[in-house]
Homo-oligomer: A and B are copies of this chain.
Amino acid sequence: MGKKVIIVGGVAGGASAAARLRRLDEEAQIIMFERDSYISFANCGLPYYIGDSIKERSKLLVQTPEAMYKRFNIDVRIDSEVTGINPVTKTVTVRSIARGEYEETYDAVILSPGAKPIRPNLPGIDSAKIHTLRNIPDTDRIKKRVAEDGVSSAVVIGGGFIGVEMAENLKEVGLEVTLIEGGPQILAPFDAEMAGLLAKELEGHGVNLLLSQSVQGFQDKGELIEVTTAGGVTLTTEMVILAIGVSPDTGFLQGSGIELGPKGHILVNEQLETTQRDIFAAGDAIEIKDYVNGTKTALPLAGPANKQGRIAADNVCGLGTTFKGAQGTSIIKVFGLTGASTGNNEKTLQRLGLPYHVIYVHPNSHASYYPGATPMTLKLLFNNEGSVLGAQGVGFDGVDKRIDDIATTIRFRGTVNDLTELELAYAPPYSSAKDPVNMAGYTAQNVLTGRTAVFVPKELESRDENTTLLVDVRSEIEHANGHIPNSLNIPVDELRARLSDLDAAKEIWVYCQVGLRGYTASRILQQKGFRVRNLTGGYKTYQMSLY
């Protein structure tokens, strides 16, 4: 008999670890404990099943205990909660619905217990009309209310990925939906102006959005439930989805000697070994390193969880595979829009006091002359050395591709110069000869080398009219259709002839629609001896900042 390995948690990290472990070691005895009745389900598909775009419930069940046994000879024990681990006696304690409480010895353990939805201790929180969404039973409950009980309204609390996905999916099946978010923006991985585009899309599809409203309590009113916020708003609805975040499901590790972080995350080294020998951990429950800035963080996402499960299995077998940190690449569909992000955002860089530059571009998804091209917004963050620190994208098409390209560049610790050199696939239906990612690279490079200086919309608030002059270099029609207050209109093509209209004593702040003509104008002016800055991303970014 080979070594005996116990796996705690049977979904993303746990099931991945189990399958990999079997492939690596045909002789091992592998026992996978799962507290619930289901293993290996598609967590990420749950909102879409509720929203009816996934029609069959069976599709959510990627693997069953029987199939895992047949294929991988894994002893899957569902309805079995691991309640404690003793690294001295090398045993785990299990509470099983079928078998009661018992112990199992182990040679190695892989922990992948995941994270549980946060349920704050608010008045009325125990109402049966308040749902969280983590697993199949949760899903069945919500689905029943929507599909069978005919619920017609819902309040979603929390504007994170799950909250927004639920708002969208409930709307898709015809509910009246209000989304309440405590902070000033939804979707924290994005900076506010990027999240604003996604918020607008939610509103455009009829989701009521309440920002900066923290929920204070609930009260059942017969078939209805009242939600009250600190700001004094009271909403009456039939169902509440509580999605204000997750916390690691690691309570059972108390007293095990396994060290936990300040919020209960399991501490691991690069081989994903915990502070107790032969015990490894993966997934939402662990603390990891931010790949970009090196600080400690946690990232409850399926990609890292699956990868870490495989790495943990490798290390149970002594392969020495490492997990080098996570950069937070994430993506969400919001009705017709896609928002994606990788690396650090401005908020994070500011919090850590890390210096950075920012540029925006608004390229088309593919060659504009080929049908179906749609604009996207890409925001790129980089430092003085040119290292790419992060990127965010929002658009209708092709955003996932560009963020993945930049995510890959960040993985290799690449620079904005590297972005200019990426040789990406181009034909008119797919991209432009200079791909949006190249374009972001060029734009950043010009800032980095001092060929152009930029400003961001926020700086307009403190602009001094005595020392600066704001110039709109778009056409007269564009200017007439809307412009930043107090700007002089000199179309870029007339600039060379109208230099004398400008007061050379002032710093010239130029802007155009997306930043390109403004850049061209800035180059002309700079070489003519003016001090000049260009609004990065142009009027389009300015408008985003107004949301």
Q: Which residues of A contact B (CB under 8 A)?
A: 12, 22-27, 42, 44-45, 48, 53-54, 59-60, 62, 70-73, 161, 291, 301-307, 310, 324, 326-333, 338, 340, 342, 367-371, 400-401, 403-405, 407-409, 411-412, 414, 418, 420-431, 433-435, 438, 442, 451, 492-493, 496, 519-520, 523-524, 527-528
Contact = CB atoms under 8 A, between A and B. Distances in A.
B60 A369 contact: yes
Given A400-B401, A401-B401, A303 B433 contact: yes
A438 B307 contact: yes
B53 A307 contact: no
A8 to B, nearest CB: 19
Given A291-B423, A333-B429, 13 more contacts: A22-B523, A25-B527, A42-B369, A48-B370, A54-B369, A303-B434, A306-B434, A310-B442, A324-B421, A329-B425, A342-B423, A407-B423, A411-B418
Contact of A412 (B59, B291, B414, B420): B414
Nearest to A372: B53
A404 B407 contact: no
12 contacts: A23-B519, A44-B367, A54-B369, A54-B371, A70-B493, A161-B427, A303-B433, A306-B434, A327-B423, A331-B430, A404-B424, A408-B424
Contacts of A340: 425
Nearest to A434: B306
B303 A428 contact: no
A426 B370 contact: no
A442 to B, nearest CB: 8
Nearest to A427: B331
A342 B329 CA distance: 24
A412 B418 contact: yes
A503 to B, nearest CB: 20
A299 to B, nearest CB: 9
B424 A44 contact: no
Contact of A493 (B71, B332, B371, B403): B71
A403 B421 contact: no
Contacts of A44: 367, 426-428, 433
A527 B528 CA distance: 74
Contacts of A45: 367, 369-370, 428
A22 B442 CA distance: 15
A305 B523 contact: no
Contacts of A425: 329-331, 340, 342, 400, 403-404, 407
Nearest to A326: B423
A524 B26 contact: yes
Contacts of A54: 369-371
A319 to B, nearest CB: 9
Contacts of A60: 369
Nearest to A2: B527
Contacts of A421: 307, 324, 411
A26 B367 contact: no
A308 B71 CA distance: 53
Contacts of A62: 369
B70 A423 contact: no
A325 to B, nearest CB: 9
Cβ-closest 10 pairs across A and B: A331-B425, A26-B527, A412-B412, A302-B433, A59-B369, A401-B401, A70-B493, A408-B408, A306-B433, A329-B423
Nearest to A330: B425
A110 to B, nearest CB: 17
A361 B44 CA distance: 23
Given A26-B528, A306-B434, A523-B23, A426 B73 contact: no
Contact of A303 (B400, B426, B520): B426
A487 to B, nearest CB: 20
A404 B25 CA distance: 35
A282 to B, nearest CB: 12
A324 to B, nearest CB: 7
Contacts of A433: 12, 44, 302-303, 305-306
Contacts of A401: 400-401, 404
A161 B426 CA distance: 12
